[in-house]
Amino acid sequence: MCGIVGYVGYREATKVLIDGLSRLEYRGYDSAGVAVLNGSGLKVERAVGRLNNLAIKLKEHPLTGTLGIGHTRWATHGVPSERNAHPHSSQDGSVSLIHNGIIENYRELKAELQAKGVEFKSETDTECMAHLVADCYSGDLLKALHAALTRAHLRGGNALVVAHKNHPDQVVCVRRGSPLVIGIGKDENFVASDVTALLPYTRRVIFLGEGELASVSRSGAKVYDENLKEIPAHVETTDLSIEAAEKGGFEHFMLKEIHEQPTAIEATLRGRVADSHIDLRELNLDPARLKQVKRIQLIACGTSLYSAMVGKYLFEHFTRIPTETSSASEYRYAEPVIDKDCLVIAVSQSGETADTLEALRLAKAAGAQSISICNVMGSSIPRLCDATLYTRAGPEIGVASTKAYVTQLVGFIMLAAGLGRIVGATTEAAERTLVNGLKQLPEQVKKLLDSDIVGVKRCAKRYQSVFNFMYIGRHFNFPTALEGALKLKEISYIHAEGYAGGEMKHGPLALVEGTFPTIAIAPKGKTREKMISNIQEIKARKGVVVVVATEGDQEARELADYLIEIPECLEELSPVLAVVPLQLLAYYTATQLGRDVDKPRNLAKSVTVE
């Protein structure tokens, strides 16, 4: 949520900032702005809308200087407008700052400052920090930021980067609940909310820890703890490549990421499936502690929540331990029963989702063991957990999650079966069969991508002008229905609902008529026959049905208005294959409607506010 870039070096700062922001635009795209320091002070340029509007403005009114900060916004407080765009500046223009997060107690801070005569120019929560830093400044910028933080008693997750007109070789920053990474170059250094912004310049990075501050200058970066004591800076080399963060010839990141799924699954399996068993030694799980687990609770949001719903079925199937899935935003306030016999698994692509992070904190405070399934190395959620199974999907830039979802499913399958073996609920034979099935997945997804696109495109074209869709599935593929519906609504803006197949007759069947399409996910498995009955019930009411079925299913072929075939696989692996055509269906429907697939309206990739 919101992209941040800071630069100190020898290049023209605006170029570096715009380039960095273009890689972070997926984090927010309501407005953008930069502040650049030169001989005549801090100069700010901002524009509402996409980053390109700012780039056009900067072409007309170039800002020169080799130190700057830049921001791309996802509005929380105040409508998307130029005056609410970051950077925000102090009244005297000496301080400019950019912010990611929410200052929950900003009203008190604002009132305090207004009482002292400060005039606010925006409706944002952020602006009060610019005034506070200026107020605390007496020659040392880092101390001013620290003092402002102390005075503000900030509530909420926040990251701030600050520049001052008297400091031509320094930006300072703090990470408090929202990520920040420092890029180490030669005679130039960077700050960003995400490593992808830094890849064209450096792969040497320092991930700021929770509560840490940093002072970044042309010659280096110093890191400080929350008491402003300097601490060692751990420079790491990221193995992300610049290509991984670019479109690579695809029209959209989403399409590229859909096509990366075979390699993402392969990478997630690598080293974790041996000949006949699942090998999770890298997680350093403690078998004795795991054997004490009486309940498993899975927490996540959005698409990750749907993978966790599949996870519930997998854990109960492989371990026979009662498992519940909760939306993280609900979990916190639902008074969950948590104790030391409880294993909490937090699932997140970004590792920064505020709702998931807070739910995890609650579970840990109550004594639960914790594991995460996460895609972003070193992000906040894995840092909090006892162990993490990293999905190795690579950077996911499209706001609609695709490759992260299938790799989360693969992560769940391995974790559930691995735990099943530890607690003695999964047999060696079952594990061997599962491993065989897992190994085939990359090739099967590839085959699906190669074969089904034409049919899916045709189907998308036929139904693009429909206003409502129903997606149905059962057991392992009930969450597939939810995920398919979410994909369609978030990128095409067509209303879609996911439902458990068996629930149709309890109400939603009333919606069915001649033009109403239902996507029925009915692969081979113990619920297939029941799904076929559900499809028949819809057909009997003249509804249109698109069926996702296992190759060679003649009955499904006869019933379907459109048939999408997936390769034969174990039932518990079918959600991995069944979701792929649904991602494509959403993608082609959205592109045919001319939607901005990678940046759907009102959304942002990483939701770091509650």
Catalytic center residues: 2, 605
CB distance 498 to 487 below 8 Å = no
Give the count of beta carbons closer than 10 Å to the beta carbon of residue 557: 12
Q: What's the one-letter identity of residue 338?
A: I
**170 or 379: whose CB is closer to ligand M6R?**
379
Using CB under 6 A, which of the segments 6-14, 93-101, 296-304, 570-578 binds ligand M6R?
Answer: 296-304
Any contact of residue 325 with ligand M6R (CB under 6 A)? no
Q: Is the peptide bond before 87 cis (omega within 30 degrees of 0)?
A: yes
CB of 388 to ligand M6R, least distance (A): 14
Any contact of residue 177 with ligand M6R (CB under 6 A)? no
Beta strand spans in 461-523 (E): 468-473, 495-500, 517-522
Q: Which of 160, 280, 299, 301 binds ligand M6R (CB under 6 A)?
A: 301
Q: Which of 100, 124, 158, 304 binds ligand M6R (CB under 6 A)?
A: 304
**30 or 490: whose CB is closer to ligand M6R?**
490
CB of 348 to ligand M6R, least distance (A): 3
Using CB under 6 A, which of the segments 242-250, 394-402, 443-451, 508-516 binds ligand M6R?
Answer: 394-402
Any contact of residue 391 with ligand M6R (CB under 6 A)? no
CB distance 580 to 448 below 8 Å = yes
CB of 607 to ligand M6R, least distance (A): 5
Any contact of residue 607 with ligand M6R (CB under 6 A)? yes
Q: Print the binding letters for residues 457-486 with ligand M6R: x by CB under 6 A, - otherwise.
A: -----------------------------x
Give SS3 for 327. Answer: strand
Using CB under 6 A, which of the segments 267-275, 298-306, 513-521, 546-554 binds ligand M6R?
Answer: 298-306
Structure tokens at 569: 């696989």
Please, what sign has the CA dihedral across residues 364, 366, 370, 372? Answer: negative
Q: Which of 215, 353, 369, 583 binds ligand M6R (CB under 6 A)?
A: 353
CB of 164 to ligand M6R, least distance (A): 34
Any contact of residue 196 with ligand M6R (CB under 6 A)? no
| H or E stretch covering 48 | strand 41-48
Q: What's the one-letter identity of residue 146?
A: H
Please tell me the distance from the alpha carbon of residue 396 to that of residue 27, in angstroms, as a whole number. 11
**404 or 544: whose CB is closer to ligand M6R?**
404
Please tell me the distance from the alpha carbon of residue 132 to that of residue 138, in angstroms, as a whole number. 12
CB distance 90 to 119 below 8 Å = no
Q: Which of 124, 326, 350, 477 binds ligand M6R (CB under 6 A)?
A: 350
Q: How many residues bind ligand M6R (CB under 6 A)?
A: 16
CB of 487 to ligand M6R, least distance (A): 7
Q: Which of 72, 297, 401, 574 binds ligand M6R (CB under 6 A)?
A: 401
Q: Which of 303, 319, 329, 407 binds ligand M6R (CB under 6 A)?
A: 303
List % helix, strand, coil for the chain (3-state, nearest 5). Answer: 40, 20, 35
Residue keyed to tokens 């200052």: 103
| Maximum C-alpha span of the chain | 78
Q: Which of 124, 116, 193, 507 is nearest to 380 (CA)?
A: 193
CB of 1 to ligand M6R, least distance (A): 10
Any contact of residue 348 with ligand M6R (CB under 6 A)? yes
Q: Print the binding letters for residues 254-293 with ligand M6R: x by CB under 6 A, - otherwise.
A: ----------------------------------------
Give SS3 for 19. Answer: helix
Any contact of residue 490 with ligand M6R (CB under 6 A)? yes
Three-class SS of 383-410: HHCCEEEECCCCCCCCCCCCHHHHHHHH
CB of 125 to ligand M6R, least distance (A): 21
Q: Which of 196, 356, 591, 608 binds ligand M6R (CB under 6 A)?
A: 356
| Distance set, CA 307 to CA 122, 466, 597 (Å) | 40, 27, 22
CB distance 246 to 213 below 8 Å = no
Any contact of residue 437 with ligand M6R (CB under 6 A)? no
The distance of Cα 129 from the centroid of its chain, to the nearest Å, equals: 27
Q: Which of residues 17-76 bind ligand M6R (CB under 6 A)?
A: none
Q: Which of 42, 384, 24 is nearest to 180 (CA)?
A: 24
Using CB under 6 A, which of the segments 144-152, 224-232, 396-404, 548-556 binds ligand M6R?
Answer: 396-404
CB of 547 to ligand M6R, least distance (A): 24
Q: Which of 349, 527, 574, 589 binds ligand M6R (CB under 6 A)?
A: 349
CB of 600 to ligand M6R, least distance (A): 8
Using CB under 6 A, which of the segments 204-212, 301-309, 502-510, 558-566 binds ligand M6R?
Answer: 301-309
Structure tokens at 500: 């458990």
Of the CA atoms within 13 Å of residue 63, those in its CB half-sphere come to 30
Any contact of residue 407 with ligand M6R (CB under 6 A)? no
Q: How far apart are the first and last CA of the chain?
A: 11
Give SS3 for 591. Answer: helix
CB distance 418 to 403 below 8 Å = no
Q: Which of 54, 265, 293, 400 binds ligand M6R (CB under 6 A)?
A: 400
CB distance 359 to 610 below 8 Å = no
CB of 483 to ligand M6R, least distance (A): 8
Give the interface with ligand M6R as residue ranges (CB under 6 A): 301-304, 348-350, 353, 356, 399-401, 486, 490, 606-607
